[in-house]
Amino acid sequence: MAISFNPYVAALYVLGPPLGFFVVGLCMAFMRRTSGLKRVSLKWIDFWLGTSERYVAMLLFAYRADQLPWFIGAWVSLKFAANWKRHRDPDAQRASLLFLVGNVLSFGFAIALALLAQRLSGG
């Protein structure tokens, strides 16, 4: 479904994905702390990667929703493969599972933003 121009919708599309970095980041920090995993401070690559995936997911949801599941599956697979066998510590399995949960949160945030944009645009 196409989204008509609305200043609130435009602001949501521009500011929403970067805001997701902080929302998802806080959730991930909480999950890491409660599961006993240590994590070095967040890096700029985390911001740019997550923000760009949320932008793409929002646009796909708005204009090509049938392609969104394929994008999510391929994207998560590529991200997971990029880190394959890099971690040899005993917490690698828990870290991988949290990585998958983080992807769910990130894409869920993007889809929620896209749904809110549809509602605000009268769709």
Q: How far is CA 116 from CA 51, 76, 88, 121, 122, in A?
A: 18, 24, 41, 9, 10
For residue 87, the model assigns a pLDDT of: 64
Q: Is 1 domain-assigned?
A: no
Contact (CB, 8 A) for 119 and 61: no
Q: Is 25 domain-assigned?
A: yes
Q: Is 85 domain-assigned?
A: yes
**Among candidate residues 123, 122, 116, 109, the one with its CA nearest the CA of residue 20:** 109
Instruction: Please give the tally of structural domains in the chain.
Output: 1
Query: pLDDT tens digit string along 22-54?
Result: 999 999 989 988 988 876 667 889 899 999 999
Q: Is 39 domain-assigned?
A: yes
Listed in sequence order, the residues at least 6 apart from 58 whose beta carbon sits closer than 8 Å to its beta carbon are 13, 16, 17, 110, 111, 113, 114, 117
Range of the domain at 114: 7-120
For residue 103, the model assigns a pLDDT of: 95
Helix spans in the chain (H): 7-35, 44-63, 68-82, 92-120
Q: Any idea of the CA torsion for 49, 43, 27, 105, to the nearest 10 degrees?
A: 10
Helix spans in 64-91 (H): 68-82
Q: Is 53 domain-assigned?
A: yes
Q: Is 98 domain-assigned?
A: yes
Q: Is 16 domain-assigned?
A: yes
User: pLDDT category, 114, cuts 50, 70, 90?
Assistant: very high
Q: Taking all residues of the chain, what is their mean pLDDT, rounded to a whole number?
A: 88
Query: pLDDT tens digit string along 72-107?
Result: 999 999 988 887 766 677 777 888 889 899 999 999
Q: Is 51 domain-assigned?
A: yes
Residue 1 reports pLDDT greater than 70: no
